[in-house]
Amino acid sequence: MIEEELFHVLVNIILNISIYLILSLSLNIETGFANIPQFGRLTAALVGSIAVGGIIGRVAAYLAGLPIGEEFVRNNARLVTEVNKYLSMNPFVSASLLILALITAVLLGTLVGLLTALPALRLKEAYLGITLLSFGEILRTFVYNYEPIVGGTLGVMIPSFFVFTGQYEVFASLLFIVLMAVTCIAIAERISKSPLGRVMKAVRDSELAIQVYGRSVIRIKIYAIVIGSAMAALAGALYSIFPLVRSSRADAFDRYNWTFLPWAYIMLGGVGNNLGVALAVIVMSIARSLISIYKHEITNYLFNIDATWLEFILMGLVIILITMFKPQGLMPEKPAFTLPKSKIEEIRKRVLEEKATS
Amino acid sequence: MLVIALTSLAYASILAIGCAAITLLYTSTRVFNFAHASMVSWGFYLTFIFHKLTLLLPYLLMPLAAVIVGFYGIVIYLSVVRRLIHSKASEITLMMVTLGVDFVLFAFLNILIDFFYYNFKWDIKNVNIVLRDPAVISIAGSDIKAIYIIAPITALLLLFLMHLFLTKTNTGIAMRASIESPILSSILGIDVDKIYVLAWFIGGVFAGLSGSLLTMLMQGSSTIGSDIVVMYFAGSIVGGLQSILGGLFGGLLVGLSERLLSYSLSGILPWIYSYRFVIPLSMLVITLLVYPRGLAGLVERK
């Protein structure tokens, strides 16, 4: 019994870490590298969830020979159960649907990134932040009320794409999500060291200087938003297909969890530093999960005050104290080396030798 | 129809007061105040709690609630914002830090609610005292509630007082000067820091007042502030974030369009009422795309 409980705690913590890792890194690319106040992180994440629940869910139903129109939303629970039966008999189909789902999510994320970037980037600072926030709220209100997309207030269930792994479903999907998170770290690090990433950081440091060097600031910012949104859509999609969640609902994508928490994490970890962000995500996710798991015990200690509020106080204080006393974050950003240190050393030696011989 | 129009007007006036608060803080200290959400919630709940304790008419208790939230403003400025302004933090950093303040204020409000809920067994998780609002007169069979009159009059009165304060008093003129150019005004012997404290106090009072007036119009829980804070943001940005007058007008416009416009359109398009949040937000986006500095850019004196 205790082992089972521990397993659930661990699953919860690892899922939180992986999803927030992808989300925070995506935000770091936009905010940390290119200085875009992305207060609408939930837009792309919600789009990723819609891609899985609204589009690939229907594709799966179509393949299983079930209705995909109005019926799909109205009798969703029954239909998805039947889709799951079909998928469990066709492991190959479910695996390819999983890949297709993630590709769709990333493509739709790219598209929505482009759509928000084009009109929004004429604005600056607070205006831009609030506009991006409003885009998120508009999309969320719309999806929440418009049933044909993902069932409006009730949401839709998502077929189990990992059903072919049998009793190891939770474990396999968790492993998959962790792998995706690690890939995202690698991608974010690669971007950080690439010419594109360095131009993004230059835009952040001085737009004027970059214009002088003949680069288009708007274009760089669009790249940042598009890459960030694609990544955030992936996070939304992965969260939605996890076996213990397996649903797509607009109200699950709230401002606190899908925009403000990633902001808190990147501020804590160090704006612009991927590894710092990863560290902050791991520490804070564990803290949050522990608070939510031991809620009742903490509540009893605290004269019946609900432990949920402790989480808010913790997050608030982290943001306030970090911005006031350590604005660089836990791990301040360092200049990115494009080559490994050993290689730089090697080149230096060679140059010195050449000088000595000549 | 009359009641709908009056409700919309009252709601719009309440929004306008809050938008004036956001605009004032942005123009004076460059802080786009995310903590506004919780300050509104605090005003909302303090009025309710005082009403529960004293059983007086809520209107009499609103000034007290608003002043308390005003003191929160002072505390936020002195403990957090001042230090960051001195270290020349960017607008985004200032926004983020008020978000942290928002979380803390929200948590403490809920702790207070839990305290009354568990220790005094108060039915407090939801505020619903709309019906305590007395009807003033009755026109054509529909009751005219006091809030329909009080909210617009309060907004007008605040507008008038702020205008008097900013143009006729020394402190007000000093405040305008500090908004225009903090360095120049400090050379002229104005204590800019004190002016900022005052601005945060007024901002807090307005936010609190906006929240406490809401008790007479809506029912809600501790999340009421964050539920409608996007409307406050939309109103202040449509107003241009440049003058308090603009903020008031922006709030009025957003409030009226959310309520009145969606109601009148619902005659033709019955489904539109669920999407009423989308109308003001789309308005915000369109305004910004056409006039990137808000509507105030149109009337700005050259």
Query: What ipTM was assigned to the predicted interfaces of this complex?
Result: 0.87
Kindly list the residues from chain B whose CB atom is less than 8 angstroms away from the CB atom of residue A313: 103-104, 107-108
Residue A131 near chain B (CB below 8 Å): yes
User: CA of A303, closest CA in chain B: separation in Å?
Assistant: 9
pLDDT at B301: 45
Of A133, A312, A324, the CB nearest to B103: A312
Q: Which two tokens stand for residue A123?
A: 């604005």
List helix spans (H) across A90-168: 91-120, 125-145, 147-150
How confident is residue B276, by pLDDT bands cut at 50, 70 and 90?
confident
List helix spans (H) across chain B: 2-29, 36-54, 58-76, 82-86, 91-119, 146-168, 170-180, 182-187, 192-214, 224-238, 244-256, 262-265, 278-290, 296-299
Q: Which two tokens stand for residue B77?
A: 């400025």
- Residue B151 CA to residue B251 CA, distance in Å, equals 13
Cross-chain residue pair A145–B102, CB shorter than 8 Å: no
The secondary structure of B142-162 as a DSSP string is EEEEHHHHHHHHHHHHHHHHH
Q: What is the pTM of this model?
A: 0.89
Of B92, B114, B237, the CB nearest to A37: B92
Q: Give residue-wise pLDDT tens across range A264-304.
A: 999 888 888 888 999 999 999 998 888 888 888 877 777 76
Which residue of chain A is at minimal alpha-carbon distance from B292? Answer: A123
Residue B121 near chain A (CB below 8 Å): no
Answer yes or no: is pLDDT of A71 > 70: yes
Answer yes or no: is pLDDT of A237 > 90: yes
Cross-chain residue pair B92–A129, CB shorter than 8 Å: yes
Cross-chain residue pair A323–B233, CB shorter than 8 Å: no
Rg (alpha carbons) of chain B, rounded to whole number: 19
Residue in A134, A254, A257, A265 to test binding to B, most B beta-carbons within 10 Å: A134
Cβ contacts below 8 Å, chain A against chain B, sum to: 128
- Residues 6+ away with beta carbon under 8 Å from B179: B27, B28
Residue B82 near chain A (CB below 8 Å): no
Give the mean pLDDT of chain A. Answer: 87
- Residues 6+ away with beta carbon under 8 Å from A151: A73, A76, A248, A249
Which residue of chain A is at minimal alpha-carbon distance from B86? Answer: A324
Residue B288 near chain A (CB below 8 Å): yes
- Residues 6+ away with beta carbon under 8 Å from B126: B219, B220, B221
pLDDT at B294: 64
Which residue of chain A is at minimal alpha-carbon distance from B82? Answer: A324
| H/E stretch holding A72 | helix A70-74
Kindly list the residues from chain B whose CB atom is less than 8 angstroms away from the CB atom of residue A316: 100-104, 106-107
Cross-chain residue pair A319–B99, CB shorter than 8 Å: yes
Q: Which two tokens stand for residue B201?
A: 């106090």
Which residue of chain B is at minimal alpha-carbon distance from A323? Answer: B97
Residue in A130, A143, A267 to test binding to B, most B beta-carbons within 10 Å: A130
Residue B190 near chain A (CB below 8 Å): no
Cross-chain residue pair B32–A263, CB shorter than 8 Å: no
Kindly list the residues from chain A whose CB atom is less than 8 angstroms away from the CB atom of residue B275: 141-142, 145
Q: Give residue-wise pLDDT tens across range A112-147.
A: 999 888 777 778 778 888 888 888 988 988 888 888
What per-residue string of b and e applies to A322-348 under the rule 16 or more CB within 10 Å gives b?
Answer: bbbeebebbbebeeeeeeeeeeeeeee
How confident is residue B302, by pLDDT bands cut at 50, 70 and 90?
very low
For chain B, the straight-line distance linking the first and the last C-alpha, in angstroms and rounded, comes to 42
Which residue of chain A is at minimal alpha-carbon distance from B81? Answer: A324
pLDDT at A106: 95
Answer yes or no: is pLDDT of A102 > 90: yes
* Residue B103 half-sphere exposure toward CB, CA atoms < 13 A: 24
Q: Give residue-wise pLDDT tens across range B81-127.
A: 989 888 888 888 888 899 999 999 999 999 888 888 888 888 888 87
Q: How far is CA A279 from CA A185, A200, A296, B229, in A?
A: 12, 23, 28, 32
Question: Collapsing DSSP states into helix, strand and coil, what is residue A156?
Answer: strand
Q: Taking a contact as any Cβ pair under 8 Å apart, which residues of chain B between 207 and 236 contact chain A?
A: 226, 230, 233-234
How confident is residue A3, by pLDDT bands cut at 50, 70 and 90?
confident
Of B100, B114, B284, the CB nearest to A320: B100
User: CA of A158, closest CA in chain B: separation in Å?
Assistant: 25
Kindly list the residues from chain B whose CB atom is less than 8 angstroms away from the CB atom of residue A142: 275, 278
Of A130, A138, A305, the CB nearest to B237: A130
The answer to whether B109 touches B57, Cβ cutoff 8 Å, is no
Q: Taking a contact as any Cβ pair under 8 Å apart, which residues of chain B between 62 and 81 contact chain A?
A: 80
Weakest-pLDDT range from A69-73, A334-338, B24-28: A334-338
Which residue of chain B is at minimal alpha-carbon distance from A313? Answer: B104
Q: Dihedral sign, CA of A241, A244, A245, A246?
A: positive
Percentage of residues in chain B with pLDDT exceeding 90? 25
Kindly list the residues from chain A whose CB atom is less than 8 angstroms away from the CB atom of residue B120: none
Q: Find residue A132's DSSP bridge partners.
A: none
Under DSSP, the state recorded for A160 is: -
Cross-chain residue pair B281–A138, CB shorter than 8 Å: yes
